[in-house]
Amino acid sequence: MTWTPFAPLRETLRALQRGEVSSEDVTRAYLERIDALEPQIHAFLSLYPEQAIAQARQADARRARARRHPDEPVPPLLGLPIAVKDVLAVEGMTLTCGSRILEGFVPPYTATSVRRLLDAGVVIVGKTNTDEFAMGSSTENSAYGPTHNPWDLTRVPGGSSGGSAAAVAARMVPAALGTDTGGSVRQPASFTGVSGLKPTYGRISRYGLVAYGSSLDVVGVLAPQVADLWPLFIHMAGFDPKDATSRDAPLPPEPNWEAEPDLRGLRIGLPKEYFVPGMQAEVADAVRAAVQHLANLGADVREISLPHTEYAVPVYYIIAPSEASANLARYDGIRYGPREPASRMWDVYYRTRGRRFGPEVKRRIMLGTYALSAGYYDAYYAQAQKVRTLIKQDFERAFETVDVIAAPVAPTTAFRLGEKVNDPLAMYLEDIFTLPANLAGVPGLAFPVGFDHQGLPIGMQLMGPALAEDLLFRVAHAYQQTTDWHTRIPPVAQGQPA
């Protein structure tokens, strides 16, 4: 075969394993695409081309040794280049979280999820752009400038993993890591026409992930097609004693990617609360058409109710900011990043946090501090936790009658840069369909199911019971075996005007 950067990840791995292409050639090809496209897209906050080439050469040398010595083990992802969202620590690489308050900070350790991938042989080309501290739905809150959607450079790529999603959509890397606290993998996957996995809470270690909402954060992955998410997911997953919330559960079995797309016996729930007045009609139509396609493959589709869905946005925007206000208290100009000078200690705190946190981060810290303050804790935070339990119970009851739940990812396709950045409520409502899965701790898998009249991608998500990621992969892969939405590439990625 003739390898190109447009090849799916699993094909690239096979080409590397067979010696049809070297890791150095693959890595150089992606770095060349980054050089060509990055000025338009701004998917990255930092790049490490020399380090990546050195890692690739080491991978090639290791494969050469293994060919001479067949008993020598070869890591399963050896020589595969990827990108990492800049909220995950990688030793020796800057970690900014898209914020001026961590400008220039280099961590002395590596996140467990990234360490496991490095042990499996990946090459890291750089760190991707993100809303500041992963707080946002458009990647416009980055202190280092917004990322542009490869399908239309005047539009957002979603957030907060917009840099990773845009890099994957433009085929600047075959896959990238993201994080999902309230939809931050699935929503940008939907906006950029790629596939994105939010695993079960606790399935992948959070050690080394800069905390935003500790009871909600998960590490996820984005790639052009569903089957290509699996190799990274399965090597990151598993118990980690460094993470007190890590689940000690068996890893799921790998789906049979070559099996016929037969969904007979599968029960799919379609929640009526996820089709609401005001959502873009093309999104609703595309999702319903995709569900019908799954029915044509043998699935039994039935309408269900998740009655507390309407409370997900207010519940999330009490719980997540409350956790953020505690987690971000450590950024004071003393222990991490740059410090604003002042003669008194308290003035150092005030100036550093006041000048170096962006407006959205300040807004959420204040919201959370208020919700946790004396006299308001019981009225807001405690009540939100009770309603969160009701949302979780909605999913538990639903999964007694259906195997997976299908729903839109977002109420609209990608909106224009600047359109909602000054309207926090409108921005928060973009997460209305993704927040419930985080509050319930269940896995979600997003993938493209069409385009609107402006040529912008439309995504659908599947949600399943806790630890049932393999079931979501099976269903979504069956869809992609019999459709071609996931094969479409943005014009800018093909050298055409966007």
* Cβ-contact 2, 14 below 8 angstroms: no
Q: List the one residue out of 341, 333, 337, 329 whose CA is nearest residue 103.
A: 337
Q: Collect all residues with Cβ–Cβ distance below 8 Å to 262 and sequence separation of at least 6.
A: 297, 298, 478
Segment 386-417, tens digit of pLDDT:
999 999 999 999 999 999 999 999 999 999 99
Degrees to nearest 5, angle at CA 434 with 428 and 438: 105
386 has catalytic annotation:
no
* Cα(491)–Cα(498) distance, integer angstroms: 6
Given 99, 138, 142, 160, the catalytic residue: 160
Whole-structure pTM over 0.85, yes or no?
yes
- Cα 252 → chain centroid: 20
Segment 223-257, tens digit of pLDDT:
999 999 999 999 999 999 999 999 999 999 999 99
Q: List the one residue out of 407, 406, 417 whose CA is nearest residue 475.
A: 406
23 has catalytic annotation:
no
Domain boundaries, the chain: 9-251+263-308+391-493
Q: What is the mean pLDDT of residues 198-217?
A: 98
Given 85, 127, 198, 420, the catalytic residue: 85
160 has catalytic annotation:
yes
pLDDT above 60 for 1: no
Segment 341-377, tens digit of pLDDT:
888 888 888 888 999 999 999 999 999 999 999 889 9
CATH number of 9-251+263-308+391-493: 3.90.1300.10
SS3 383: helix
Instruction: Using CA atoms of 126, 127, 128, 129 in order, give the dihedral in degrees to the nearest 10.
Output: -130
Given 22, 184, 190, 246, the catalytic residue: 184
Segment 122-142, tens digit of pLDDT:
999 999 999 999 999 999 999
* Cβ-contact 379, 122 below 8 angstroms: no
